[in-house]
Structure 1
């Protein structure tokens, strides 16, 4: 590590230049108000520098201040911008300066530093002081102190994230090996990796996220430490599950979620991440075939020959994230559920616990996971019926009502179908040869199923407009609304699916009337 950092330059956009000039004027304003103090030097840090060097556009800029807190400097910006001559000089409009937001540190959530954020010229600009961290064996949280730029660089998770752009000199500063590692497409820790991960085990997941997002390789020495039993135990117990979930979400929404899951698999991290850490008795799912799940999903997402499966089942960015989460959780589907004594409310399935407690998945996603688990047998049965050309496959109401049932239990019925496909892939997908005849046959069955749903015109069954509502049905039957209504209305929907061209519900009412006893409808 040399005292003089390696350097290079960055070409700024017009807006970035405008922001830089305002920040430098603020630093001058501060320096003039306290001439005897150490002058303020500003640096843009971390991800923005890395992305600029890679030609990736970024609107999030971390600004490191050497002599004062981020909040104190941000307040000086607001103070300076109130001066008319400054607003005119920097061409500042009311839309260019947003509100100041302070984000308090929260050590229990692995957030060890207070930051202050302002929206400036369209950028989310975070302000924080340069710092160094001191960890003690008996504390999970570091002691934070003002530090030098080099000390700040050394405490970061990866060398490619430890670069600074010095606003005063207009040059990049590299106090580690960040520039060299960028060229080598290598993710390394600035300091010895084992201690780096023991100080903050969340860095294990951050390195995987950066490697998968950037297409870089993780340094071999770092990989070995990421698999260390002590590091895994620290990650499981020391880091809040919310923070673990945030990193997993960013990975699965990133450029290459397949690679992220492969890293988790290869480094032996699965049982540390996708579990309920409060339940030591929770079983360990078999991972021997998990690779077939994410390789199959990756193949579906990128292969034009089977694009229709992917486009039919994954239709939005959120759905894509949910799909990769389902792929991540798929091994739990084959784990044996604990036996119940039959008393009380049944516990959530293991796969839902892994989502809810392991990565703190939001309720909506947990609902999809639970529904995918509970509806899998029904989905596979209908798929098998289509493949085997059973006599029931032309019953439009059977398929339409099934889809409505799946969707009502968790939404995203298409993703529930995808989940069944991925679980089946654990038995049938040949990962070593994605173009094999077996794989083509396997996906061909699912394509046949989806094509059949399209032919029946039931893909939009959950949003189908009903011909009759409960009030109208009760009036037509001459009875008061009651518990009978739900079943009767479901019968009307099934009738409507059998008669897709009907515009008058009288036929449905007539059928319901014939089945009054069956549907528990009271006499009129």
Structure 2
């Protein structure tokens, strides 16, 4: 992870003079031109937006959006299929995403596979607004009209397939790209009121590329009318998708700091009514400070925090959910009552209901927070054996006595069985949060404190791996519930769950124990149980 430059530092970005097509891109574009020529469509084909921007920045991109000047995307896709049939090729399915003006989705988009690459097709458009209306009349427009209706100048560039040339129809897309500026082609406030989601897109691209938001754009993004429209006009799913892209990207901290600084935090992360305890006045600052400190601490520790073996997708999930967990650490103990008067964590509500992300994401963040609050006891034991006797007394029962030297292993093993693969993330959040501080931005950012916490994390992680607990949750119980009933001569009921938990502790004490040894221990326990009864 690279250290981020100051958000307002204007950059000089290396931009290529021309676009270099890959072999597959050239093949796709030649096929599209063949369709135009064969049916004499007279269509100008332009690749729009992100693909052009990324190619100029020397980055690979498969996000190819084709803008058409004289027909709809669906009609053109049908022509592509018609041509494929003439060539003796299999026709492809066409997906159509309808426009939804109420949610600022003004364009119908058609999508299909061409040479195993998904291509989106949409017509160039112009937009006209009736008086006192925020929903435009959308018509096929010129390329210049379309360019000026784009969200940002760096996304308004076209690559004209017909002429094999770059088109900068706003007159400043290339220049802004070279200067690293995030600017809207038209006045920022009007652009954001047209589609308020563009505020979050501007933040996302500024964070991704370490580009600078211009002052007029920041002023428009902070406008109360724009914030109101973002909260009421844009679906939670679209907001959540943008936020998730930020958190999955390379610089989530920059994005969250922009969200905070522009006064958008409570719009994006809508809290439930009547949280308990009440959300503090500067909660947005506390949350942003925590993810910033988490970023700095993770940078010191290295990638082991997100270790997922060789599974890169699992590592990405660890990283993404770690940032959400860090962001919402200040409200980890804040709850609210749902419609069934059940206490629900606020972090769960924000992720599940405000952002409409996966329920499993919300549950995992809550689980990470819960495990992070249990880790201090393990850290204390491993660092100083503090409260060892008390912990041993809690773990012991009349049927299983935990050897003193194995109390650490049993306690940590029980917690890892709950949090599983995410135990390193939970340990990291625990190290981030404990000992508690009044103001993370004042205290934790000090390098000496960060280094102390880094060393603690490394020591505890090493201790847990030395105890051979990494993956302990994958170990199968030596006896299942039915076998336990047979050995203990009991009927189904809560007692089976109690013995399954006790069995797991026995296996933690006896990592090389056999089924026969386990059965012998349980038979002795059964005899003791009968005497106690």
**TM-score, normalised via structure 1 length:** 0.85
Range with greater deviation from structure 2 (321-330 or 429-438)? 429-438
Q: SS where residue 451 of structure 1 aligns?
A: helix
- Cα distance in 2 for partners of 1:516, 1:61 equals 70
- Indicate conservation of the 8 Å contact 2:221/2:227, yes or no: yes
After the TM superposition, which residues 425-440 of structure 1 pair with which residues of structure 2 at under 5 Å, given as runs? 427=437, 436-440=447-451
The corresponding residue for 2:415 is 402
- Cα distance in 2 for partners of 1:477, 1:26 equals 76
- Cα distance in 1 for partners of 2:299, 2:507 equals 38
Distance of aligned partners of 1:376 and 1:319 in 2 relative to their CA distance in 1, 3 Å threshold: closer
The corresponding residue for 1:489 is 500
After the TM superposition, which residues 9-408 of structure 1 pair with which residues of structure 2 at under 5 Å, given as runs? 9-31=18-40, 39-84=42-87, 98-136=92-130, 139-176=133-170, 177-276=172-271, 279=273, 283-285=278-280, 286-303=283-300, 307-311=303-307, 316-333=315-332, 336-337=334-335, 345-390=341-386, 391=388, 392=391, 394-395=406-407, 396-407=409-420
Deviations 1:360-393 (A, max 9, x none): 1211001112223444432233223333322258
- Indicate conservation of the 8 Å contact 1:289/1:426, yes or no: no
Range with greater deviation from structure 2 (426-435 or 263-272)? 426-435
Q: SS where residue 501 of structure 1 aligns?
A: coil
Q: SS where residue 348 of structure 2 aligns?
A: helix
- Cα distance in 2 for partners of 1:517, 1:191 equals 83
- Cα distance in 1 for partners of 2:415, 2:444 equals 34
The corresponding residue for 1:3 is none
The corresponding residue for 2:401 is none
Distance of aligned partners of 1:191 and 1:23 in 2 relative to their CA distance in 1, 3 Å threshold: same
1:416 corresponds, among 412, 421, 426, to 426
The corresponding residue for 1:501 is 512
- Cα distance in 2 for partners of 1:121, 1:352 equals 42
Q: SS where residue 124 of structure 1 aligns?
A: strand
Structure 1 unaligned runs (5+)?
A: 1-6, 33-38, 88-92
Q: CA deviation at 1:146?
A: 0.9
Q: SS where residue 156 of structure 1 aligns?
A: coil
**TM-score, normalised via structure 2 length:** 0.84
Distance of aligned partners of 1:178 and 1:322 in 2 relative to their CA distance in 1, 3 Å threshold: same
- Indicate conservation of the 8 Å contact 1:136/1:142, yes or no: yes
Distance of aligned partners of 1:17 and 1:472 in 2 relative to their CA distance in 1, 3 Å threshold: same
- Cα distance in 2 for partners of 1:209, 1:478 equals 61
Range with greater deviation from structure 2 (420-429 or 150-159)? 420-429
- Indicate conservation of the 8 Å contact 2:275/2:335, yes or no: no
Q: CA deviation at 1:425?
A: 7.8
Q: CA deviation at 1:186?
A: 0.9
- Indicate conservation of the 8 Å contact 2:325/2:369, yes or no: no
The corresponding residue for 1:441 is 452
Distance of aligned partners of 1:236 and 1:344 in 2 relative to their CA distance in 1, 3 Å threshold: closer
Deviations 1:481-504 (A, max 9, x none): 333211111111111111112113
Range with greater deviation from structure 2 (308-317 or 49-58)? 308-317
- Cα distance in 1 for partners of 2:436, 2:142 equals 52
Q: SS where residue 250 of structure 2 aligns?
A: coil
Deviations 1:141-194 (A, max 9, x none): 432111111111111110010111111211111111101111111110000011
- Indicate conservation of the 8 Å contact 2:329/2:369, yes or no: no
- Cα distance in 1 for partners of 2:506, 2:223 equals 60
Q: SS where residue 459 of structure 1 aligns?
A: coil
Distance of aligned partners of 1:479 and 1:432 in 2 relative to their CA distance in 1, 3 Å threshold: closer
- Indicate conservation of the 8 Å contact 1:140/1:238, yes or no: no
Q: SS where residue 344 of structure 2 aligns?
A: coil
- Cα distance in 1 for partners of 2:262, 2:295 equals 20
- Indicate conservation of the 8 Å contact 1:110/1:240, yes or no: no
- Indicate conservation of the 8 Å contact 2:44/2:68, yes or no: yes
- Cα distance in 1 for partners of 2:46, 2:303 equals 46
Deviations 1:341-361 (A, max 9, x none): 9x9652311121121122112
Distance of aligned partners of 1:100 and 1:306 in 2 relative to their CA distance in 1, 3 Å threshold: closer
- Cα distance in 2 for partners of 1:358, 1:211 equals 23
Q: CA deviation at 1:22?
A: 1.3
Range with greater deviation from structure 2 (226-235 or 385-394)? 385-394
Q: SS where residue 110 of structure 2 aligns?
A: strand
Q: How many residue pairs were aligned?
A: 491
Q: CA deviation at 1:432?
A: 8.4
- Cα distance in 2 for partners of 1:490, 1:17 equals 61
Deviations 1:254-302 (A, max 9, x none): 12222212222222221111124x7488954423433442223222443
Q: CA deviation at 1:77?
A: 0.8
- Cα distance in 1 for partners of 2:39, 2:435 equals 62
- Cα distance in 2 for partners of 1:370, 1:330 equals 10
| CA RMSD in angstroms, aligned pairs only | 3.0
